């Protein structure tokens, strides 16, 4: 290599990045850490004015990257042991709902079913077809032999009725939506 090997090292790193990363990942046991180490190596090369006496650019770059990766691991401190990880997992609350939440949800579902059952038949049918069967509003209109505007109106009325009775007037979905899905 020339006396100032820095430009040649930079070019070599760019041209052979994938190969260097693969070799480094095998050595470090982690592809992400290998990529970070090569990035740090590039930054190290950028901060230098010159480098002399490099006979094997791949070996030199890998040695720099490995040293930087080991330094980074040392800076991050020791890794958690499996017992420490297990203790943390034991302290994490279970995201599943508890008995009180399940009972409340069941009561709300029963109230919702009762409200839906009390809707006028066509309104109930529109609601079920659009929200539970996920049919496009145009298709619902065609199947029921009514206008698209009537489907939109019935859907809005159903939402407003249910939201008002469930105490959620601010959470009623917008009845107008794309006509084709």
Domain locations in the chain as residue ranges:
6-76, 99-171
9-27: average pLDDT: 87
The whole-number average pLDDT for the span 26-32 is 83
Q: What is the pLDDT of residues 107-141, one digit of tens each?
A: 999 999 999 999 999 999 999 999 999 999 999 99
- Identify the CATH class of 99-171: mainly alpha
Closest Cα partner for 113 from 166, 52, 72? 166
Tens-digit pLDDT profile for residues 59-107: 888 888 888 888 777 777 656 666 656 665 565 566 677 888 889 999 9
């Amino acid at each position: 290599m020339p006396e100032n090997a820095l430009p040649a090292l930079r070019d070599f790193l760019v041209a052979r990045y994938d190969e260097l990363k693969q070799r480094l990942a095998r050595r470090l046991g982690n592809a992400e850490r290998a990529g970070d180490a090569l990035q740090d190596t590039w930054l190290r090369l950028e901060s230098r004015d010159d480098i002399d006496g490099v006979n094997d650019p791949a070996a030199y770059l890998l040695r720099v990257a490995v040293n930087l990766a080991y330094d980074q691991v040392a800076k991050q401190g020791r890794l958690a042991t499996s017992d420490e990880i297990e203790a943390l997992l034991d302290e994490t609350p279970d995201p599943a709902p508890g008995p009180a939440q399940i009972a409340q949800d069941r009561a709300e579902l029963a109230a919702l079913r009762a409200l839906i059952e009390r809707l006028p038949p066509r309104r109930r049918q529109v609601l079920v077809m659009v929200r539970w069967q996920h049919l496009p509003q145009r298709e619902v209109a065609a199947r029921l032999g009514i206008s698209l505007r009537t489907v939109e109106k019935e859907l809005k009325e159903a939402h407003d009725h249910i939201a008002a009775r469930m105490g959620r007037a601010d959470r009623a979905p917008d009845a107008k939506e794309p006509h084709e899905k």
